[in-house]
């Protein structure tokens, strides 16, 4: 099936020329390197594009990206993997890597559901694609959306992703899509977000999961990030680097109600 863009013209420009021009403003001329995983925000490009662009500028493009995103719509299953199809955005189409998607599902059918409903109107993965398309559309994707998940289910899913990737012979990078604190003051966002970021940089999925819940951090994608960390650990990840952090106040000028954005790579 063809998954049409849900937020073109809202979160990012709906015409190819305008989208390419805007994304180009966020791309940095910097050496690229292979990475196991990354954390990228998913707000409107005007707010978080400079953070996402800084991350994608550092990534040596793999053959396939596995995208893990939070569920904002309430549609679909607890963990929804779209097993086949094509995703369309104004600057290109991306085919789902059916082989890898099937292997991931086969490794954890008790936690992952094959489902398309969760993906139809969800923006958290879609807004990553303009950055990929800026460099190449000859890349496959595996989209997975999280609505609910225990820590054990994050671990099971992360390990199933790692096992599936280890069984293929081409490079894959795992992107966890997440914004950080929502609708708190700028100072509060920076304070709370630093607690979550510390656990990501320490490659500590358990600490991230428990801290987000115990401190009430409104990090929408903590389940995808926790899962990505479990997968990265299976690959022997040793370092995690904060590429950029910002809040929406830098664009909106509103320091009383902000959203935080962190860009992180895991190697």
Structural domains of the chain in order of their starting residue, each with its CATH number: 2-266 (3.40.830.10)
Q: What is the pLDDT of residue 85?
A: 99
Q: What is the pLDDT of residue 89?
A: 99
Contact 96, 141 (CB under 8 A): yes
Over the Cα atoms of the chain, what is R_g?
Answer: 17
Nearest to 75 by CA among 121, 128, 7, 6: 121
Contact 58, 35 (CB under 8 A): yes
- Per-residue pLDDT in tens (0 to 9) along the chain, 267 residues: 999 999 999 999 999 999 999 999 999 999 999 999 999 999 999 999 999 999 999 999 999 999 999 999 999 999 999 999 999 999 999 999 999 999 999 999 999 999 999 999 999 999 999 999 999 999 999 999 999 999 999 999 999 999 999 999 999 999 999 999 999 999 999 999 999 999 999 999 999 999 999 999 999 999 999 999 999 999 999 999 999 999 999 999 999 999 999 999 999
Q: Is 137 left (phi over 0), alpha (psi -120 to 50) or beta?
A: alpha
SS3 34: coil
For 155, the token pair is: 């671990």
Q: Match 């109600």 to its residue by tokens.
A: 257
Q: What is the pLDDT of residue 108?
A: 95
Q: What is the pLDDT of residue 70?
A: 99
Residue 175 is given by DSSP the state: E
Q: What is the pLDDT of residue 63?
A: 99
Contact 135, 89 (CB under 8 A): no
Contact 259, 193 (CB under 8 A): no
What distances in angstroms separate CA 181 from CA 70, 186, 195, 204, one per listed residue?
14, 9, 11, 19
Q: What is the pLDDT of residue 148?
A: 96
């Amino acid at each position: 099936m063809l998954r049409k863009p849900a937020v073109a013209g809202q979160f990012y420009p709906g015409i190819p020329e305008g989208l390419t021009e805007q994304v180009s403003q966020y791309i940095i001329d910097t050496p690229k390197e292979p990475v196991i995983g990354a954390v990228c925000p998913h707000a409107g490009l005007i707010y978080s594009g400079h953070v996402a662009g800084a991350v994608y500028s550092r990534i040596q493009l793999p053959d396939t990206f596995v995208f893990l995103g939070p569920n904002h719509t309430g549609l679909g299953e607890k963990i929804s993997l779209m097993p086949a199809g094509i995703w369309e955005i104004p600057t290109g189409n991306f085919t789902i890597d059916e082989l890898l998607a099937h292997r991931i599902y086969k490794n954890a059918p008790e936690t992952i559901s094959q489902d398309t409903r969760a993906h139809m109107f969800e923006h958290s993965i879609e807004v990553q694609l303009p950055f990929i398309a800026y460099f190449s559309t000859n890349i496959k994707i595996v989209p997975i959306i999280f609505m609910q998940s225990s820590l054990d289910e994050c671990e099971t899913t992360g390990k199933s992703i790692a096992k599936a990737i280890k069984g293929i012979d081409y490079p894959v990078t795992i992107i966890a899509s997440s914004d950080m604190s929502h609708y708190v003051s700028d100072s509060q966002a920076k304070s709370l977000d630093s607690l979550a970021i510390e656990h990501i940089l320490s490659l500590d999925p358990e600490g991230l999961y428990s801290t987000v819940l115990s401190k009430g951090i409104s990090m929408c994608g903590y389940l995808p990030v926790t899962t990505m960390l479990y997968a990265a650990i299976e690959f022997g990840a040793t370092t995690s680097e904060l590429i950029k952090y910002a809040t929406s106040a830098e664009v909106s000028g509103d320091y009383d109600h902000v959203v935080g954005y962190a860009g992180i790579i895991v190697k």
